[in-house]
Structure 1
Amino acid sequence: MVKPAAVDYSVYLVTDSTPAILGDRDLCDVVEASLRGGVTIVQYRDKHGERDTVVQTARKLHEITRRHGVPLLINDRVDVAVEVGCEGVHIGQDDIEYSKAREMLGEGKIIGVSAGSIDEALRACAAGADYLGIGTVFATATKKDTKSIIGPQGVSTILSALAANGHGGIPTVCIGGVNASNTRQVMAQSVSPHKTLDGVAVVSAIVAAQDPAAAARDLLGKVVAAKVPDVVQAVARKGPLSHNMTNLVVQNFAANVALSIGASPIMSNYAEEAADLAKLGGALVINMGTVTPEGLKNYVQAFQAYNAAGRPVVFDPVGAGATAVRRSAVKTLLSAGKFTVIKGNEGELQTLHGVSVTQHGVDSASTLTLPQKAQLARSLSRVHGAVVLLTGAVDVLSDGRRTLRVDNGHELLGMITGTGCTLGTTVSAAVAAYPGDKLVAAAAATAMFGVAAEMAAVRTEVRGPGTFVPAFLDELYAIRKATAAGDMRWLTMVKVQVMDVAEQE
C-alpha cells in the first residue's frame, strides 16, 4: 500500500471516459502511456457508469498503476474503491461525507477532498483530508457543475488560509483548465508567502492528447521547473547544515558556495563528530577526492552515523575508475549503507555500474549518447535506491522512475577546480531542506547552479576562470535573494525536461 505521506502529487491524472475526450481509444491504454510519461497519481472518474463495468475497469487500472508504483483513487464511489482494494478515493463537496468515507475505507487509505473556497478547504482539513484538490481554476468543458471559477489568485488565497490556520503541511493540487500552456504560470501565480502547490490535476491535457506519454512528460517537466524556487526558498529559510568530507583543494570554495545559497557549511573529515552533526538536521557529502585507509574509515563511520539519524548522504565517487584503490573504496562505501544521491561524471558512474573504464585523474571523456546516459542513471538509481545525478554538458538525473535532463551551465565551470564538488554541496543542502521529493530537490539545485554560471559568464568584468569564480558566487547569492523577494525572472532561464527512457529488460 502507498502511504499517504509518500504520495507524489506532481502530475495528477483525472480520467474521463466520454467520447468527446477519450475518443475511441481504450482508457487503460491511455493511462498506461501517461504513467510511462510521468503521471504520479491517477483518479478514475466515472460517476454514472454501470457498477459492474466501473469495478471491472477499476481493477484493470489498478493492475496498471501498481506496476508503476503509483496510487489509484476512485472518484466518489467509495464502495468501488473498497471492492477493488485501491489506494483511496477523492470526494467532492456534494459527494459522500468524509467521515462515512473513512469508516468504509478504514485507516491508511487516501481520501482527497475538493475545495473551492477557504471555508471548504478548512473544513476538509479539520475532517482529516489527506490532500485537497483546489479549484476550479479556469473554465473547463470536462466538468459542468462548477460553482465558481477562482483563478490562480483564488488558489493563492486558499493556500494562505491553510498556512495561517496550521494546515500548511497538507498536500494540494489545483484543477480546472490546467494544461501544458499554463502550468508554470498557474503554479507561479498561485504561490502564497508560506505555502505552494504540490502539483496540478489535469484531464483533457493528457486523456485527449494524441500522445499521452509525451503530454505527461511535458507537464511533469513544467511542474518540476515550477518547483525550483520552492527548493531555493527552503534552503534559504532552513539554512541546513552541509557537512562536507572532502579534500583540502575545494573546501574553501565549497563553503563559500554553501553560504551563498543560504546553507550552513562545515568541513570536517573527522568521523567522531558525525553522530553529533547528523542530529542538526543537515546532510553529509562524501567526496572521494582524496582516498587513504584512514580517510575511508572516516567516510564509512560518518556515512553510517547519518544513515542511523535518517539524514541525507550525497556520494561523489571522484575518479572512481582511475585506480584499483578507488575502485575498491567505491565497493566498500556502496556496501556500507544507503546513499540519498549519487553524483558523478560518466566514467565514475559507469565504474559504479560495473563497466571497466579507464579514467585519467578525475576527468572522463564522454562516449555515451544522451539516451544511454539516461539508461545508466536510471539503472543505477534502481540498483542503489538513490537519486543519480550524471554530470556533463547536459546533466541527467533519475530516481529510477522519473528521469530528467537539466541543460543549464557554462563551459567555464569545467575550467575551475572543484565545481563538481561544490555542486554536490549545493545538492546536499537542497535534499536536506526539501525532503519531500529528492529528485526535484536535486534537479532544482542543479538548475540553480547552472543558471548562476550562465549569469556570471556574461558579466562584463568576467574575462576568464579567475574573474568567473567571484561572479559565480555573487550570482548564486543574487538568485537566493531575488527568489526570497518574489523576483522570479531568473526562472525563465531554467531548462528542465523529462526524458523518454525506453524500458529495457
Structure 2
Amino acid sequence: MKVDYSLYLVTDSTQGILGDRDLTSVVQAAVEGGVTVVQYRDKTSGTAELIRTAKKLHQVTKAASIPLLINDRLDVALAMGAEGVHIGQDDIDLPTARRLLGKAAIIGVTANSVQEAVKAVEDGADYLGIGTVYATPTKEDTKSIIGPAGVRDILTEIAAISDNVATVCIGGINASNIQRVLYQSQSRLNSLDGVAVVSAIMASSDPTGAARTLRSLIATQPLFATIQASNALITNVVKIEGPRIIQALVTQSPLCHNMTNLVVQNFAANVALAIGASPIMSNNGAEAADLAKLGGSLVVNMGTVTSDGLSNYLQALRAYNAVGGPTLFDPVGAGATQQRRDAVKTLMAGGYFDVIKGNEGEIKTVAGMAGAQQRGVDSGASTLSLEEKARLVQQLATRERNIVLMTGKVDVISDGRRTYAISNGHELLGSITGSGCTLGTTIASVLAVHRSDKLLAAVTGILLYEIAAEQAVSCGNAHGPGTFIPAFLDRLYHIRTVDVPAGTGFENAKIKNIIA
C-alpha cells in the first residue's frame, strides 16, 4: 500500500502520558484529526493483551485506510494482521523480519546515525525513524540527541544510495518546533517525508485538535523561512541597494527588541536611534508576544546570561519565530564557561535564528568545535586562516539554514551558498565596550525592513556600521576611545540623513566573494 508518512503517531500507554483514558479512543480521535500512520508501542503488557489491543486499534486504522505498525513484536503483528512493524537497533534484524513477514509488509527501522541509516537502507527498510531529535521523557534508552543537523546528515547520506526509502524523524517534536525541524533538517538532496510524535498527541486533552494543528503546520512553511535569494553577487549590488535599504529603514523606523547585556543597553539604544530604528531594551520574555506583533526584530545577546534570562530568551525567541520576525543571536563569551556552552545548546535547540553573529571563538563554540575555549568574552588568538574561517562559517550556515557572521579584522559572512569577506571598520571599534553587541542591533534593524534577501540585509548593516567607524576617524573627530563613540554615532546619523538620501554612502565598501 502507498503510505502517507506525514503525521506518524507512536502510542504510549503509560500513566504519565495516557493517564486513565482509553487508548483506542485517543487513537480514534487522533486519526480523525489527521494522523496518517499509527505505531502501537507497549513495552510492558503481556502478549495476549497486546494482541487484543492491537486488534481494536486495527479496526480504527483500517476504517481510515491508514496502516497500523507494531513496535518490535513480530509475533503480535502476525497474530492480528498488522500492516507491518517498526524495529529498533536492539530488536530483531531486518532481513529476518522481512523473511518472516513477507515482501508486502511495511518494515521501519530506527536510525540514530549515518551508519545505522545506511545499513537499514541496504537491508531493505521501507522507512527510517530518524532520531532522537530532541530529548524526550517518553524514551529512556536514548543513545544521543542528534538535532535537525544530525537528521540532515542522514538524509544527505541516504539520498546518495536510494531514492525510495521514506523518512520520519522522532524525539521531542511538538507544535512549537515541528516546522523548524522540517525546515532545518532539509538537505539539498533530500527532505523528510513526515514527523513522528508521541506526547504532542497522546498527552493532549484534545487529540483531534492536536493532530489537526500538527497537520496544518506540516503543510505550511514556517513564517521565518528564507526566500530563495538571487545568485547575483552582493559585491555588485550592495553599493546600489545598500542606500535604498537604509532609506527603507529610516522610513519604516522598525522596532528593534534588544535582549542584551546590561553593559551596553544605553549604547545599543543610541546606535539604533542613530540609524533610524526604534529601540526597546527589554529582557522580559512575557511581553515578547506583544512586541513581536509590531513587525520588528529581536536581538538575543547572552552577555549576562542567567537561568531566568535564558528562560526569557526562549520565550521571546518562540514569540518572534511564531510571526516570522527576524532574530539575531549573539553568543557572547560562548566558549568561556560550561554554563555559557550549555546556554548556547539550549537556545539553538529552542528556536530559529536568522543570523548568528560572533567572533572566532564564539562561532567555533556554536559549531561544536572541540577546544573552543575563550577567556571571558574575548575571542582569543585566531587559529584559523581566512579560508578556514570561510569554510567554517559556510558549513555552519548550511547546517542551520541561516546566516552566520564571524567578526574580526576581516568579517566573514555566509548563507551557505554565498560567502563574503568584508574588510571595512576601524581598530577603535575593538577599544570600546559593546561594539560587537551594537553591530548585532544594527544588523537586526536592517533585517526588519529587508527580508527578501537576508544576506544582503546583513551585509548592508555591517557596511553601514563599519563605514561609519571609518568616517568617524577620517573626519578628525575621533582621537581615542573616548572621542570615538560620539563621533561614531554622529557618522551613523550622517550616513542615514545626508548620504543615503543622496543615494551614496557605500562607495568605500570593501567586500569580496570567497569560494570556500
Picking from 373, 385, 389, the partner of 1:369 is: 385
Q: In structure 2, how many angstroms separate the alpha carbons of the residues matched to 1:366 and 1:477? A: 33
Aligned counterparts, 1:17-166, within 5 A = none
CA deviation after TM superposition for structure 1 residue 499, in Å: 1.1
* 8 Å contact kept, 1:222–1:497: no
CA deviation after TM superposition for structure 1 residue 340, in Å: 0.5
Question: Secondary structure in 2 aligned to 1:235?
Answer: helix
Q: In structure 2, how many angstroms separate the alpha carbons of the residues matched to 1:482 and 1:68? A: 43
Q: In structure 2, how many angstroms separate the alpha carbons of the residues matched to 1:258 and 1:304? A: 23
Aligned to 1:351: 365
Aligned to 1:227: 241
Q: Report the AA paired with residue 511 of structure 2.
A: V
Aligned to 1:472: 488
Q: 1:256 and 2:273 equivalent? A: no
Q: In structure 1, how many angstroms separate the alpha carbons of the residues matched to 2:440 and 2:382? A: 20
Q: Report the AA paired with residue 310 of structure 1.
A: G
Q: Per-residue CA shift, 1:179-221, capped at 9, x if unaligned? A: xxxxxxxxxxxxxxxxxxx98xxxxxxxxxxxxxxxx98x542
Aligned counterparts, 1:175-190, within 5 A = none
Picking from 297, 304, 319, the partner of 1:290 is: 304
CA deviation after TM superposition for structure 1 residue 284, in Å: 0.4
Q: Per-residue CA shift, 1:254-284, capped at 9, x if unaligned? A: 0000000000000000001100000000000
CA deviation after TM superposition for structure 1 residue 391, in Å: 0.4
* 8 Å contact kept, 2:239–2:507: no
CA deviation after TM superposition for structure 1 residue 357, in Å: 1.1
* 8 Å contact kept, 1:232–1:483: no
Unaligned runs of 5+ in 2: 1-186, 190-226
Structure 1-normalised TM-score?
0.56
Structure 1 ranges of 4+ moved more than 6 A:
none
Picking from 326, 329, 346, the partner of 2:343 is: 329
* 8 Å contact kept, 1:451–1:494: yes
Q: 1:380 and 2:379 equivalent? A: no
Picking from 479, 487, 503, the partner of 1:463 is: 479
Aligned to 1:118: none
Question: Secondary structure in 2 aligned to 1:396?
Answer: strand
* 8 Å contact kept, 2:255–2:279: yes
Q: 1:429 and 2:445 equivalent? A: yes
Aligned to 1:493: 508
Q: Report the AA paired with residue 468 of structure 1.
A: F
CA deviation after TM superposition for structure 1 residue 231, in Å: 1.8
CA deviation after TM superposition for structure 1 residue 458, in Å: 2.0
Q: In structure 1, how many angstroms separate the alpha carbons of the residues matched to 2:501 and 2:306? A: 45
CA deviation after TM superposition for structure 1 residue 68, in Å: 7.8
Q: In structure 2, how many angstroms separate the alpha carbons of the residues matched to 1:343 and 1:461? A: 29
Unaligned runs of 5+ in 1: 1-66, 70-170, 172-197, 200-215
Aligned to 1:440: 456
Larger radius of gyration: 2
Q: RMSD value over aligned CA atoms?
A: 1.9
* 8 Å contact kept, 1:225–1:496: no
* 8 Å contact kept, 1:389–1:397: yes
Q: Report the AA paired with residue 508 of structure 2.
A: M
Structure 2-normalised TM-score?
0.54
Aligned to 1:394: 410
Aligned pairs, number: 290
Aligned to 1:341: 355
* 8 Å contact kept, 2:463–2:506: no
Q: 1:405 and 2:421 equivalent? A: yes
Q: In structure 2, how many angstroms separate the alpha carbons of the residues matched to 1:484 and 1:362? A: 34
Q: Report the AA paired with residue 342 of structure 1.
A: I
Aligned to 2:497: 481
Q: Report the AA paired with residue 432 of structure 2.
A: I
Question: Secondary structure in 1 aligned to 2:507?
Answer: helix
Aligned to 1:13: none
Q: 1:274 and 2:288 equivalent? A: yes
Q: Per-residue CA shift, 1:402-432, capped at 9, x if unaligned? A: 0111111000000000000000000000111
Q: In structure 1, how many angstroms separate the alpha carbons of the residues matched to 2:383 and 2:275? A: 33
Aligned to 1:414: 430
* Percent identity between the two aligned chains: 56
CA deviation after TM superposition for structure 1 residue 226, in Å: 2.6
